[in-house]
Structure 1
Amino acid sequence: MPAYFVTGTDTDAGKTLVTAGLLARASGQGLSTLGLKPVASGCRLTSAGLRNDDALALQSRSEPAVAYAVVNPFAFAPAIAPHLAAQQDGRGITLAALAGHVEPLLEGPQHLTLIEGAGGWRVPINDSEDLSGLAVRLALPVILVVGLRLGCISHARLTAEAILADGLRLAGWIGNLLDADFAADAALYDANLATLERTLPGPCLGILPRLDAIDGPMRPESAAACLMLPDGD
C-alpha cells in the first residue's frame, strides 16, 4: 500500500500538522490510515509510559486503531536531537532496528501510511546513521514540509537536493506559514511561493495559512481542507 516519508526543512516546520492533516484527509475519503513517528524526543512521562504529543496525534488519526508502541517505538524524554537523547537514555537507535519495526507494517491493510521524521532531513540517530536513511532503506517517496518564513527558499531547495541525491523521489511539498510577517506583503509572498513552485522538483500539495492569531492553533481537520494527497492515492 502507498507509503511516504514526511520530512521538514527544519525542526517545527509543521511536519506533525501536515502528517495528521493528510491522514485526516485520507480518512475523510474513506481510506484506512497509519501514521508512524518511529523516533520521538521530548516525551512526557505518563502512567502508561513515555508519550509524545506528535506521536499521539498520529495515533489518534490511524484507522483502524493501533497501539502507541506501534506508532512510536523509540521514545525519549529530553527535547533534544534524537541521537543525543538516545545517548542520555543509554539506548541505541539503528536503521536496522527502525526498518525492522516499520517494514512489516507497510504490508498491512491500510490504504495510506505516513512515516514522520524528526527535525530535518540530516538529523542523526547515531554516530554514523541519519534518520533519512530509513526512507532510503525502504525506498519511500518523500513529502517535504516547508516552513514558510525568511530563508525558506534556500532551506527547501537544499533539502530537496539532498533527497534526490539520496536516490529518492520528492512526491510533493507543502508550505506551512510560520511567520505572519512573511505574508504581510501579499505580492512578495506570492512571489516566494512561485519561486518554490518553479524550483522544487515536485508538486505543491497545499499551503497552510497561519491561523493561530485568530482561531488558535490550526487543527489537522482544518489543515486537511488545505491539502491534497499525492497523485495516485
Structure 2
Amino acid sequence: MLKLFITATDTDAGKTYVAQALVKALVAKNKKVAVYKPISAGCERINDRLVNEDALQLQAQANCQQSIANINPIAFAEPIAPHIAALTLQQTITIADIERGYNEVLALQADVVICEGAGGWRLPLGQGKFLSEFVQASAQQVILVVNMKLGCLNHAVLTYQAIIADGLDCLGWVANCPENMPYLAENIAELERLLPITKLAEMPMTNDISKAAAQLDIAKITALL
C-alpha cells in the first residue's frame, strides 16, 4: 500500500485540486484509491453532520465507497484555524484521534491512500502539536503543492526543508498556477533549480478534473506500486 500526504506552501494553495487530480489519474490506472482529510474547518451542516466541500470533492473521485465521516472525521463549522475552532468549542484535536481515523481508512486495503493536509506543513493542532507529527508517525510520503504567487520561492524551499528535516521522503512537487503570475515560467524554472525533487506537473486552474489529471506525471508514483 502506497501512503501519500498532500501538503502545500500555505492555505488555499490547491491541495484539494491536486489531490482530486491525483486520485483521478490513479483510478484511471485501475488502482483502488482511498482518501483521507483528517481535519477541516469551514463546513456546512447537512443532515445534522458538518460536511466539508473539499471532502465531498475527494469522495467524488475515490473508488472505495467511503462515507464523509470516514474521509473527514474532524470537522468544524467556522473557516478558521482548526485548533482555534476546537478551542472555542472546548475541544482538543489529538494525534491519536487522527491516527484512529487513518487506521480505519487503511483497513479498506486500497492500493493507494491519499491524505490531504490542512493549511501548510506546520499546521498547529494545539497543545504544542502539529499535523506534521501525524505524517511522521504514519510514515507517509509527501507531495508538495506550490501556490505560484509572489513569495512562493521562499515558502516552497522552507516547506521542503522542513519535510526533509522531519525525516520524510518528498516525492515531488506540483506548480499550481491559478492566476497569471508575472514571470511564471521564470519562477517555475527557479524552483526546478532550488528543489532537488521531481516536478510532477504545472497545473493551470480548470474545472475539468480529467484535464487536470492529464497534466500529472504519475510515473514516479505508479513505479512505487
TM-score range, shorter chain: over 0.9
How far is the alpha carbon of 1:87 from its aligned partner? 1.1
Question: Partners of 2:42 and 2:104 in 1: how far apart?
Answer: 26
Shift of 1:191: 2.1
- Residue 206 of structure 1 corresponds to 201
Contact 1:144–1:173 (CA<8 Å) still a contact in 2?
Answer: yes
TM-score (norm 2): 0.94
* TM score, norm. by length of structure 1: 0.90
Amino acid at match of 2:71: V
- Tell me, in whole angstroms, the C-alpha distance in 1 between the residues paired with 2:83 and 2:155: 22
Q: Which amino acid aligns with 2:194?
A: T
**Displacement, 1:202?**
1.6
The more displaced of 105-114 and 140-149 is 105-114
Alignment partner, residue 41 of structure 2: 41
Pair 47,103 (structure 1): closer, same or farther in 2 beyond 3 Å: closer
- Supply the RMSD in Å over aligned alpha carbons: 1.4
Which whole-Å CA distance do the structure 2 matches of 1:16 and 1:197 have between them?
Answer: 23
Paired residues of 1:22 and 1:228 also in contact (CA < 8 A): no
- Say how many residue pairs are matched: 222
Q: How does 1:19-58 map to 2 (within 5 A)?
A: 19-58=19-58
Q: Percent same amino acid at aligned positions?
A: 38
Alignment check: 8 A CA contact 1:34 1:61 kept: no
Equivalent position amino acid for 2:217 in 1: M
The residue matched to 1:87 in structure 2 has which SS? helix
- Tell me the distance in 1 between the aligned counterparts of 2:210 and 2:91: 35
The answer to whether structure 1 residue 196 and structure 2 residue 170 are counterparts is no
Give the Å deviation of 1:109: 2.2
Which runs of no fewer than 5 residues in structure 2 stay unpaired?
A: none
Contact in 1 for aligned 2:203/2:215 (Cα 8 Å): yes
Deviation at residue 89 of structure 1 after TM alignment = 2.4
- Cα distance change, pair 70–205 in 1 and its aligned pair in 2 (3 A): same
> 2:224 aligned with 1:232, yes or no?
yes
CA apart distance, 1:136: 0.6
Residue number in structure 2 paired with 1:214? none
- Distance in structure 2 (CA, Å) of the matches to 1:205 and 1:71: 25
**Residues 170 and 201 in structure 1, CA contact (< 8 A), matched pair in contact too:** no
Could you give the per-residue CA deviations for residues 38-97 of structure 1, whole angstroms, max 9, x where no partner exists?
100001111251100001111111212111111000010010001011112232111111
The 5 A counterparts of 1:59-138 are 59-138=59-138
Residue in structure 2 matched with residue 9 of structure 1 by the alignment: 9
Structure 1, unmatched stretches of 5+, are 211-216
Deviation digits for residues 132-154 of structure 1, max 9, x if unmatched? 11101111110000001111111
In the alignment, is the contact (CA less than 8 A) between 1:145 and 1:174 conserved in 2?
yes
Q: Deviations over 1:164-195 (max 9, x none)?
A: 11111111110101331x15xxxx32221111
Between stretches 217-226 and 67-76, larger displacement belongs to 217-226
CA distance in 2, matches of 1:110, 1:29: 13
In structure 2, what residue type is equivalent to 1:232?
Answer: L
Deviation at 1:219, TM superposition (A): 3.4
The answer to whether residue 219 in structure 2 is matched with residue 219 in structure 1 is: no
In the TM superposition, residue 228 of structure 1 has moved relative to its aligned partner by 2.4
Distance 1:75 1:18 in 2: 21
Q: Distance in 2 between matches of 1:154 and 1:143?
A: 17
